[in-house]
Amino acid sequence: MKETDAINLSEIPEDTHNENRAKLAKKYSKINQIISLSETVIFFAITVIFIAGGYSKEVEELAFSFTTNDYAAVLIFFGIFGIIQSVITFPLSFYSDYTLEHKYGLSNQTIPGYFKEKIKGMLIGLLLGIPLLLIFYFIIKNYSESWWLILGAVMFFFSVIIGRLAPTLIMPLFYKFKPLENEEIKQKILSLCEKTGVRIRGIFEFDMSKNTKKANAAFTGIGKSKRIILGDTLLKNFSPEEIETVFAHEMGHYKKRHIMKLMTVSVVMTFAGLYLTSLAYSNSLNTFGFNSVSEIAALPLLFIYLSLFGLITSPISNILSRKFEWEADTFAIETTRDKGAFISAMEKLADQNLADKTPNKIIEFLFHSHPSIDKRIKFAEDYKL
């Protein structure tokens, strides 16, 4: 892509910047939504064709031509299935993650950097996914009636372990973390922690700018791995007061126990989803010519049902997520007592991340985990301290 093809917001005259930015944000958001929906449709289409066309059974036979071991066959089967999915969806994925981000001036990645991150992510996915896949197959093979219950428990413990290890073992594979060097910001955050009674293990900055111009901050980890992480793009472009209010928002999630609440809801929905999909899966096996819940060729059918359940329940999860965001915003405003910093931080986040401040209401309801920036700013403006 030529450098001149990229959109540089900094070159837009000040008097037309906001108007142009809003139009670009809506276009950028719309393209991302179309790509996301297209990827979902492609996944379902490939999987349905894979099953209905009899290719699933053919790939299972191919897998067993290499081995007589069921578990090795499962790995070969899903290896082939995954490669097919990846090859077909790669052009869309590359356009979304690389081309589009460069076109709108949001990415700092090079082509080698893009592939390096993708390969790294794939290897970590395999490292974590292969044991989980084998455990899943062991459970469904040996507990054909209650597999959903046992699998739900395994998934819960697995998610807790990942939540514990991610900040210290997984995330550092993608970014360089170092203790926050800005003393003014550090003191503001530590004072806020002391004021609200929050204990943390450390405040870190990371090189977010190696991949993107977007800004972000987060409270990560559970237990002893709990820490605050701030992107260098945030530290570079936001004032200490704005960073303080962004952190106060993240702290609000912690103080309001949103992580635990979301985990509880997630556990309930996981068990409900596994149970309902187990019923649909068992009752439709014969329709598609399968004989057993543990038949390898039938497993993509189960993944279709699980994906459908996720799509159907996603708006419910988003409603809860938006409620928690409102609570975190309220906590940030009340704790810092600085509405101006909150509003300017929201404006900067929208501008730097090219976020659509006024999305379509239906789109927001169905797909957004956060309230729109425009609503959050209006909320802060009207909030009485």
Model pLDDT for residues 127-179, shown as the tens digit of each residue: 999 999 999 999 999 998 899 999 999 999 998 888 888 888 889 999 999 99
Per the document, the length of the chain is 385
Task: List, for residues 162-221, the tens digit of each pLDDT value.
Answer: 888 888 888 999 999 999 989 999 888 888 888 888 777 788 999 999 999 999 888 787
Spacing of C-alpha 217 from chain mean position: 14
Residues whose CB is less than 8 angstroms from the CB of residue 15 and which lie 6 or more positions away in sequence, other chains included: none
Using CB atoms within 10 Å of the CB of residue 228, give its burial: 0 to 12 exposed, 13 to 18 middle, 19+ buried: buried
- pLDDT above 70 for 323: yes
Convert the pLDDT of each residue in 325-369 to its tens digit.
Answer: 999 999 999 999 999 999 999 999 999 999 999 999 999 999 999
DSSP state of 12: S
231, β-bridge pairs? 206
Q: What is the Cα–Cα distance from 62 to 60, expressed in whole angstroms?
A: 5
First to last CA, the chain: 50
Buried b (16+ CB within 10 A) or exposed e, 324-340: bbebbbbbbbebbebbe
Which element (helix H / strand E) includes 294? Answer: none
Q: Which residues contact 238 (CB under 8 A, 6 or more apart)?
A: 215, 246, 345, 348
For residue 198, what pLDDT is reported?
78
pLDDT of residue 295: 96
pTM of the model: 0.85
- The number of CA neighbours under 13 Å toward the Cβ of 184 is 7
Could you identify the residue written with the tokens 């403006």? Answer: 381
Q: How far is CA 81 from CA 73, 137, 296, in A?
A: 12, 16, 12
pLDDT at 14: 47
